[in-house]
A = this chain, B = another copy of it.
Amino acid sequence: MIRVVAFDGDDTLWHNETIFSMSQERFEEMLAPYVDPKDLHARMLETERRNVEIFGYGIKGFTLSMIETAIEVTEGRVTAAELRALLELGKGMLAHPTELLEGAREAIVEVAETARVVLITKGDLFDQESKLARSGLGELFEKVEIVSEKDDARYRRVLRDLDVAAEEFVMVGNSMRSDVLPVVRIGGRAVHVPYHVTWALEEVDPAEVPEGGWWRIERLDELPALLSSVEG
């Protein structure tokens, strides 16, 4: 019996990683006079990996990491005007329209006919709330949980707050690391809907992937049929 179906937000219901990719490309173009784009890419990832422990996920941390990387790779030769442009790039990301993935609204509405539907999304509180508001999907969810990390402990707490048992819970999202692995580990089930880009920090070792407890679909419009077949 599936009582609660939880959706991830970024890259599951609305586009997100494409905005980061576009900004990363723009960042590389802007600093091309100083540094080879490939090298900048690697250095930026290094900075992000180091800073995620301090900043958490989200655009503000990404913007601070761009500024830090730009100063480091140019050994301080980057100009204040160029850094100012990086700041504006970050603000532009925060103001970017929330573009829904195809079939997102329909999938939520259809699933809501037979189960409670909630949103469990990771990242910056202010930015996630703002994106949710602009998505127009807010009123479809019984509850919205914005979390700083999606790990076993956090899912256990969310399930307790929702008063649902793990075996009655299904998580739907694009990240194996955040939406599938921890949920299956605590006894829940998951549906993986891959997005065409995956951030390096979300990648998983194939050896970690469990054999059962989860399914993969190509598009959200396959979700209602999958859930019906699971319930048999």
Contact = CB atoms under 8 A, between A and B. Distances in A.
A54 B91 CA distance: 7
Contacts of A81: 71, 76
A224 interface: no
Interface stretch (A4-12, A56-64, A179-187, A213-221): A56-64
Contacts of A124: 56, 124-126
A135 B78 CA distance: 39
Interface of A: 54-58, 60-61, 63-64, 67-68, 71, 74, 76-81, 83-84, 87, 90-91, 94-95, 124-127, 129, 146-148
9 contacts: A54-B95, A55-B94, A57-B126, A60-B60, A60-B64, A71-B81, A74-B80, A125-B125, A126-B148
A169 to B, nearest CB: 19
Nearest to A76: B80
Contacts of A67: 67, 83, 87
Contact of A87 (B64, B127, B129): B64
Given A54-B94, A64-B64, A78-B80, 11 more contacts: A54-B91, A55-B94, A55-B126, A56-B127, A60-B64, A63-B64, A67-B67, A71-B83, A76-B81, A80-B83, A125-B146
A38 to B, nearest CB: 22
A124 B55 CA distance: 10
